[in-house]
Structure 1
Amino acid sequence: MSQAPMNTPHGFSEADIHALRAHGIELFAGRLIFAAQPPMDEDAIAAVQAHCAGPLPPALLALWRQTAGGRLDYNLSVEVTTSEGPRIEAVSWCELFYNGSDFYRDLQGWIENEEEQAWETAEDAGEEWSGKLAYLPIGGFEYCDRIYAVTSPGAPDDGGMLAWKMGLPPAWAPALTEDAVATFAPSLLAAFACLALHGDPLASNGEYGAGSELLAYLDTCRSNGLPAPLADALLAFYLRARIDWRALLQAGTLPAHPYAVRVALRHAVEQDDAALLRHIHASGARLDGLVAGGDNALQHARFLKKTSAITALEGLM
C-alpha cells in the first residue's frame, strides 16, 4: 500500500478509501463499518428529519451522507441503573439500520414501531402525543438491543446516544430481568469511541465473539480482490479498538484505566486465573467494581463456580 498523506481520513489514501468502499467497507469516527450501504440521499434524510422532535445530530448526518448503514463488530458496555441498583450490561450494537433492509435492520420499520409505541403510551396515560420522536432508533440487534439518537430540544441529553436493552424473564437472574435504558454518550462520535474490542480476535481459536464476523468478511474481501497489504492495514486499524489491559498492567498504569481494569478482572475470573488476579491487585487496581451485570469480580467468580478465583479474591478483598 502506498504511503498516505497525513491529512487523509484515518491515514488511508483516497485511493485506499475508494478500494475499501468497493468492498462495502467504510471508516467513520475511528471505527470500521462493513457490509456498508451507499450514502443516504438528502430526500431520505429529510424524510427521517420530519419524524423527529428536534434536529438530527450533525454527526449522524455526516454518517448517513457517507453510508446509510451497515454492520459493526465491536463490544459495547453500558452502565445502567435498575430497580436493584447499577449494572454493567453488554449491549449488542452490530447493526446500523437503513431503509430497504430486512425487518430487524429496517430504519423506516423501526421508526414506525417507535411511533406506534409512543402513541399507545400517550393514549394509556390519557395524553396527546406530539407526533414527533424524541428518540430516533438508528441501530442495535434484532428486537432486544437498540441504540437511539436523542432529538429532544432542551433536554439535557439532546444530541446524545441512548442504549436500550430488553430484560429477560425472572428465571434468568442474575442476568438483566427488566428493561434498562441509559444515555451512554453525549454524541454519535463519542458513542463510536465507546465501541471496543475486549479481546484479540486473532487469538480467539475460532470461538465466536467480537471480531469473528468482521474477520470472515475480510477473508471474503481478500478472495474477491482486496489487496493483501490494504487488508492487513485495515485489520491493524480495526485492532486499534482493542482494550490492551495486558500492556497497561505491564506498564504499571492499569489502575488509571477503569474500563481496562473491568475487562482484565472479568478475563481473570473467567479463566480462573488466581495468579493474574493477584497481579492485578498488586498493581493497585480496585477489585470491588462491577465487572458483569450487578456483580463484582468475587460475585462473578462465585456465579461461575471458579474455585481458584474465589479463593484468591476472598483473600484479596
Structure 2
Amino acid sequence: MLTGLAQQSVEDAVFVPAVRRDRDEVRALIEALGRLHVHGIGVDWEAVLGSGRFVDLPTYAFQHERFWVPAALESQDVGAAGLGAIDHPLWSAVTEVAGGESVVFSGRLSLTGQPWLADHQVDGRVVVPGAALVELALRAGQELGCARLVELTMQAPLVVSAGAGVDVQLVAGPCDEVGGRPVSLHSREVPEGEWTLHAQGLLADQDVEPVAVVGQWPPVGARPVEVEHVYDDMAAMGLAYGPLFQGLVAAWQHGDAVFAEIALPEQAHADAGLFGLHPALLDASLHVAALGDLVPRAESGRPYLPFAWSGVSLHAAGATGLRVKVARG
C-alpha cells in the first residue's frame, strides 16, 4: 500500500512492492524484478537466476503446415439449391432443364481444388488436358445411360489460371432417334466471366464389348525404345509435364506399332478410384505417339495436342496402369 502512495507522490521514480500479502515471497520478488526490468532498470539476472541454456523459440506464424480442407473440396448441400449431387472429383451437381429433355452437369476446376492440373502446361499456361474433358463426358454419359463417347471434338483450349478457377458445364441435349445425345462443354472464369465453348460431341449406348488381349507382352521380336529423355524433348517443344503426367515408363516397337506401359505415380493412386480413368493416366498414353516415328517431329512452340476423340468406351474403372498399343491409322 505504501508503494502505491509513494508512486503518486513522485513522477520520475518507479516503486515496486517486493513482498505481497498472501503471495509466495520468491515469486513476488521475481515479479518485482521483472517489473523493474520492463521499466528499463538494469537487473543482474545471472545473479538472480543463475546460469542457463539456450532453447529453441516457438516457430513463427508463417512457418506452419496447413491441415484445413480446401474450401473447394468441402461437402456442399447442392440439394438445397435444387440440384442433384454427383459423386465425382470434377463434377459437383447435375440438373434436368425444365420444359425439355436437356441435362446440365456443373463443376469447378481450380489449381486449389485440382492441384494436379498444374502438371499439364502448354507454352507456360496450365491447360486442362483433353483426357480430362473425355473423363467429364464419360462420367456424364454414365449418369445418362449413354456410356460410349462416339466423338468429342475440341473447339478451344481450357486454360486454368491461379485464383478462384473456372466454372465448367456439360450440356447434354435430348436423345435422338437412335438413342444418342449431343453434348457440349463450356467454361467461364469465376465469378462472372463469359461462357466459352470448348468441345462438342455425341454420347450413345454402350454397344461395344471389351476385347480380351492374349499373347506375350511385349510381342515376340519387339525391340526396346528409349523413353528416358522423352519428357525433356516434349518440354523443348512447349509441353511441360509435371511428375503426375510423366507416366510413360517403358516402350517397345514391333513393325509399325509401338507398345508401351503407362503407370500412374504412386501419390495419385488414392485418387485413381474416384475417376473412371484418371486424366493423367489417359493423357500419358498419348505420349507414346512421340516414339517410333509415328508422327513427324513437332516444331518448337507448336506441340501436338489431341483435338478429336472417337469411339471411347470404358470397361473398367480406377486403373493405376495401362498397356497401350499405338499404330498408324
Q: TM-score, normalised by structure 2?
A: 0.26
Which is richer in helix? 1
Greater gyration radius: 2
Q: TM-score, normalised by structure 1?
A: 0.27
